[in-house]
Chain A
Amino acid sequence: MSAFSYEHSPYPVRQDLQQVYRDYWSMLSHPGNWWSGTERVAIANEVRQATSCEYCAQRKQALSPYNFAGQHTHAGELDELTVDAVHRIITDQARITQDWVDSLEQTGMRPEKYVELLGIAVTVFSIDEFNRGLGLTPEPLPPAHPGEPNHYRPAQAIRGTGFVPMLPTQGATGQEADLWGDHTANVLRALSVVPDAVRGWFMVAAGQYLDMAGMMQFSGDHGRAINRMQMELVAGRVSAINECFY
């Protein structure tokens, strides 16, 4: 049985959605720019520990999440710093600060590694959340492919927006020309210091929500069972509960 076949789902799942999930699983299992395939799959596995981590649940209630001692429930495949980064992104992202991201760099995780980790964590989480929405268990993770990360960093990435370096609004040029057109929104730039992280989530977003062209279409048929307003109601309610200002 192939991954994401949804054969046992009581609710039929679109073929295109199954395919983008499969494509992302393949991408996940290969070495990235800053993490090996084994590490990338381990980050994905840690996402699943985070949602049931008792320490994260307690820390979420704490007034100061940066002065709350304890131990994460973890899979034992990653170092403490990496585990904490994955768990914080999944369970308490609204309280992530520039100081904390800077502290990662001081303790050995350069911003590019953080950004790739962020891309993996949130994309895997979005796929797991889709399954959970349908009452299904998460898809088994893929076996990792051997190889080392290539440490690619686009030369045009700069600091100045948000907590991490990213391509300038008009910086989708050269090898990154496929990312967007003449200019774009900050949320699309956010992971662009690791261009494949952007490509990964764009691909999954096109299946789960809309592709770039579809996002600029506010009325009419998007080829979905729900119209744009219904999509935005779901999007808005999820964002509000997550306390996301953006």
Chain B
Amino acid sequence: MLSLSADMTKTDVNLQMINGDSSATAGGLEYALELMVFAESLARRDEAALTTAREALASAAGSAVLVDAAAVAGNFQRMVRIADAAGIPLDERNIIATIDIREQLDLQRFGSAANSRSTTLSDRLKAVFMKPLMKFVMRRIDRKANTGNH
């Protein structure tokens, strides 16, 4: 989703932020380092680090940003547990759409990858042809959503 959103807004982001690479936060995303560290300390349950990260984020970006970041972090503490505890596999269309991102981030290292089928040569071939089409479709969906919300 970060990749998709960056693509839609033509923003330069380095996805290695997801894996905690601080140097990857130096790009077009405002408060990226503070947000990354806050999310990390919350999910790791490191209370001392969380206190420091909370203060750093609030100080740099303000209370409203901190509150919305805490809300999103809480939301995904739930979502990961729903996905893993119900054992859901990656949706078929996402297997093709996310091949490169999963490889860039080495997501296969996670145990819950076993709940999804492996990527095949056929998936890779389909991805070559389908990615431009998918990008086009997602742009249309985004445009429609933006029109509908204004």
Hey, which bits of chain A sit against chain B, CB under 8 A? 10-14, 17, 51, 88-90, 93-98, 101, 115, 118-119, 121-123, 125-130, 132-135, 161-164, 166, 185-187, 189-191, 201, 204-205, 207-209, 213-214, 216-221, 224-246
Contacts and interface: CB of A to CB of B under 8 A. Distances in A.
B19 A240 contact: yes
B43 A162 contact: no
11 contacts: A133-B74, A162-B88, A163-B85, A164-B86, A216-B141, A229-B6, A229-B29, A231-B68, A237-B36, A240-B105, A241-B40
B51 A135 contact: yes
B75 interface: yes
Given A205-B75, A213-B145, A219-B9, A234 B38 contact: yes
Contacts of B94: 185
Contacts of B72: 208-209, 226, 231, 234-235, 238
Given A11-B67, A213-B145, A229-B5, A245 B116 contact: yes
Nearest to A228: B5
Interface of B: 1-2, 4-6, 8-9, 11, 13, 17-20, 29-32, 35-36, 38-40, 42-45, 50-51, 54, 58, 61-91, 94, 105, 107-108, 110-113, 115-116, 138, 141-142, 145-146, 148-150
Interface centre among B13, B18, B58, B107 (most CB of A within 10 A): B18
Contacts of A229: 2, 5-6, 9, 11, 13, 29
B65 A190 contact: no
Given A233-B36, A246-B88, A246-B90, A133 B9 contact: no
A176 B135 CA distance: 31
Given A121-B81, A217-B145, A217-B146, A230 B87 contact: no
Contacts of A125: 77-78, 81
A96 B110 CA distance: 13
B1 to A, nearest CB: 4
B36 A243 contact: no
A225 to B, nearest CB: 4
Given A13-B67, A229-B9, A236 B17 contact: yes
A79 to B, nearest CB: 19
Contact of B80 (A93, A98, A133, A224): A93
A102 to B, nearest CB: 11
B73 A129 contact: yes
A161 B38 CA distance: 34
Contact of B54 (A97, A134, A185, A207): A134
